[in-house]
Structure 1
């Protein structure tokens, strides 16, 4: 039975359901390790372009110059969500559909890396699964399941519903102070066993850390990198280093975001060559997967909290489209890369009910 404290939360969901019926854009989200849930509602269906000086919620695609959207905060609702109930894990079998093509794609990338075209490229694929829940039920299950992730549900008449539980911050900016992270490497979580990282994961994480420091060096002062640590995100482990800095004089938020997105964790190194390889070879349009999203000036002026859109899916007419990927280096093994994407797919599959 739902907590009594969640009546206000349910009231907000009812309001958002009516917004979707009316074609009004909205976003509802909860930051990592918090109870507060924030809803941003736009009063009309107008398509607004990204403006870091406006109060609202941004939803930007992988190719973020194309159709980055801003949901204006004409109305902001704040509530809390509390629930101690256990979430039943999905028992859906993992499909082997797309295995051969993904393995071949990974091998093609390794060949390009070995001849010196790239150091790393992140390759992804999409998975379509039937579901029979409302988008709001899926969002509530995300809140229950992934307390340490940025959980969100967004609706816009331009693209419908998207939701996710991402473990990766793109950048947090407040009072000219910058916080970001270098996140890379993936291992499945096994109860009672610490992650045993191999050379491939360690080197990949070092690549990401070095790249971020280089990108921010001319835009910031007091740039520091914390020691690498293992962090858990749902049923997966990752390697993470936190990055801290102060914006240099005359540096703009646009410059900082442009310097960081797309990160090597979702694109590759060097960025331009990796992005060109992705667009030419993945075989589908990522749209908002591996883009970024988050609040702009809601918590205060020049207060930005943006996240990388990982562990996400699009919900449309009874079909949930999931997206999974992994970083490819010269140490990658195609079969293991396929298994990694299978493991990652569980994050979203686990919140879809089986009784379809």
Structure 2
């Protein structure tokens, strides 16, 4: 995958709103997800109790089409260009922060978003902080424009209503028809048209009561603490896959490809993990995914480190082959720019990328929206964390309905019935969180 060419900041017709942010250290306020208030759109990026959450809206950027990443980064730069910031903590993720979620495909009808919450609470390395952000056209001085007071932690919020009765139905393509699509894809791979393609399917969940996203997040985090529990603009889930993380000039990416379902029997699961680690089909699929990440990062890095073999990542419902790729950045580049360069990886699209994307457009039968696109956050230094939006659902305009997504890597020798079963396993986190 070729690296995107440098893109200068475009001139704007009128000034962007003035961003004004203040970050202070606070005492431990309790679980981050317990701080999210009712009635406000929740933002979340939390793993094992650490991360950031937010609510309210200071600024929002929406972009579409092939230039969605560049337009979002330009908008973020414009907001920061006139920003007034007082950061008393100085950790990654303090100061003004934008949560983001991007459409998978250039032609998707779904808009991509960068949102700056009015309130952000973070926890990392034994420290907690609170950031409040406002916008205005101008401000006379830092003393007058910094929001205040900002001392003290927000209170823990009560649990929302319990989940209602949930009914599930096939989405754009029925289960039998999706098996047939997988069979067609396998035939194309075995004819040598491509090495791998990832095919996704959706499932519609209808709840008897409005879905409380805060409750979804809490249940996902409790059941899958090793994943990143996220919520941005109605897209909510628990992803095990870190697309890219940056801190100063260090970059890391976790690649997952190759999956087997857990049984709940520890001895049997250990045997299954061993078989996964020896599976030529799964190892081949994983190698494609790792190679695509390394090729995308190489133009930006002075050096990269790739382990010789993957490890088996044990999650509550499945196990994955996993590889952590790390590197040192050659230049100052934002985490969002790297997410653009890495998207779409072989783990969610296939190899070669162009051939896999064309086959997805031809046979998948649905618009993925922001499923399998980058989701995460970045700060004013450009550092951030971007996962791949997996194990997730989209809450639409109707709060009773959630569209769930799952996908599987198809290579030579893939069995359509086994892939359907794998997709069902990947629906489990959201199904359980919904109470289904």
Q: Indicate whether the TM-score tops 0.5.
A: yes
Equivalent-residue separation in structure 2 for 1:78 and 1:179 (angstroms) = 21
Q: Among 96, 102, 118, which residue is 2:178 paired with?
A: 102
Q: Among 358, 363, 367, which residue is 1:285 paired with?
A: 367
Residue in structure 2 matched with residue 27 of structure 1 by the alignment? 43
Equivalent-residue separation in structure 2 for 1:254 and 1:44 (angstroms) = 17
Residue in structure 1 matched with residue 150 of structure 2 by the alignment? none
- What aligned pairs does 1:34-113 form with structure 2 within 5 A after superposition? 34-39=49-54, 41-43=56-58, 47=62, 49-51=71-73, 53=77, 55-63=97-105, 67-78=111-122, 98-113=174-189
Q: Among 335, 352, 356, which residue is 2:434 paired with?
A: 352
1:146-188 alpha-carbon deviations (Å, 9 max, x no partner): 1111102233xxxxx2210000001001111110022101111
Shift of 1:78: 3.5
Shift of 1:29: 2.6
Equivalent-residue separation in structure 1 for 2:218 and 2:333 (angstroms) = 38
User: Is 1:138 the equivalent of 2:153?
Assistant: no
Q: TM-score, normalised by structure 2?
A: 0.68
Equivalent-residue separation in structure 2 for 1:9 and 1:349 (angstroms) = 20
Residues 29 and 152, structure 1, Cα contact 8 Å, conserved in 2: yes
Equivalent-residue separation in structure 2 for 1:296 and 1:223 (angstroms) = 22
Distance 1:215 1:319, change over 3 A: same
Residue in structure 2 matched with residue 310 of structure 1 by the alignment? 390
Residue in structure 2 matched with residue 205 of structure 1 by the alignment? 286
Residue in structure 1 matched with residue 254 of structure 2 by the alignment? 181
User: Is 1:163 the equivalent of 2:236?
Assistant: yes
The answer to which of 217-226 and 40-49 deviates more is 40-49
Question: Unaligned stretches of 5+ in structure 2?
Answer: 1-27, 64-70, 81-96, 129-154, 157-161
Q: Give the number of the structure with larger relative contact order, counting CA–CA contacts within 8 Å between residues 6 or more apart.
A: 1
Higher Cα radius of gyration: 2
User: Is 1:13 the equivalent of 2:93?
Assistant: no
- What aligned pairs does 1:250-261 form with structure 2 within 5 A after superposition? 253=335, 255-261=337-343
1:25-48 alpha-carbon deviations (Å, 9 max, x no partner): x52231x23345421542366647
Q: TM-score, normalised by structure 1?
A: 0.83
Residues 228 and 241, structure 1, Cα contact 8 Å, conserved in 2: yes
